[in-house]
Amino acid sequence: MSPVLFWLFTLLMLGFATSVVVNRNPVASALSLVGAFLALAALFVGLDAYFIAVIQVLVYAGAVMVLFLFIIMLLDLKAEQRRRFNIVTLLGGSIVAAGFIAELTALLSKFQLGKRGFPTLPGAKPVDDVYQVGMTLFTTHNLPLQVTGVLILVATIGVIILSRRELK
């Protein structure tokens, strides 16, 4: 992947992600999130991970975001009021964030393993992404997949319990 494209999409993604948090209008936030997802998908394409890129667009940018927007429109959310931040919270939060970034920068500058290039894959044959992912999920990684199924069931129950106007 060309470094120019990498930096372009990374900056786009970070910019959109920031705007999700900073925007006071929920619709604008949601749309920025779509932008961030698309830029992330572009990064996946750059890594030759086409399957994940497509799933990223279809599932996140497509299905999940459309749902988000529906909910926002249906609830008729107004732009959030500007809040005044507690100075202590703000200070504490920025110290933690700054410390984290500083640590990460210091770490990455001397992290030898990260300076290696990608190893060349044995055989020049293109790998069938979908087939491989499917095989992994349903053969070797089946147990975590099943537990994920239970997790989604529990989440579904939660949505109904917490959002239905009157329980029956």
Q: Which of 90, 95, 137, 157 binds other proteins (CB under 8 A)?
A: 157
Binding mask 80-119 for other proteins (x = CB under 8 A): -----------------------xx--x--xxxxx-----
Nearer to other proteins, 75 or 154 (CB): 154
Q: Where does this chain touch other proteins (CB under 8 A) — which range of 10-18, 48-56, 78-86, 136-144?
A: 136-144
3-state secondary structure 93-125: HHHHHHHHHHHHHHHHHCCHHHHCCCCCCCCCC
Query: Least separation, in Å, of the C-beta of 106 and other proteins?
Result: 8
Query: Least separation, in Å, of the C-beta of 39 and other proteins?
Result: 19
CA pair distance 54, 39, nearest whole angstrom: 12
The helix/strand/coil state of 141 is coil
3-state secondary structure 41-68: HHHHHHCCCHHHHHHHHHHHHHHHHHHH
Q: Is 161 in the site for other proteins (CB under 8 A)?
A: yes
CB 79 within 8 A of CB 48: no
Query: Least separation, in Å, of the C-beta of 31 and other proteins?
Result: 22
Q: Where does this chain touch other proteins (CB under 8 A) — which range of 18-26, 32-40, 80-88, 152-160?
A: 152-160
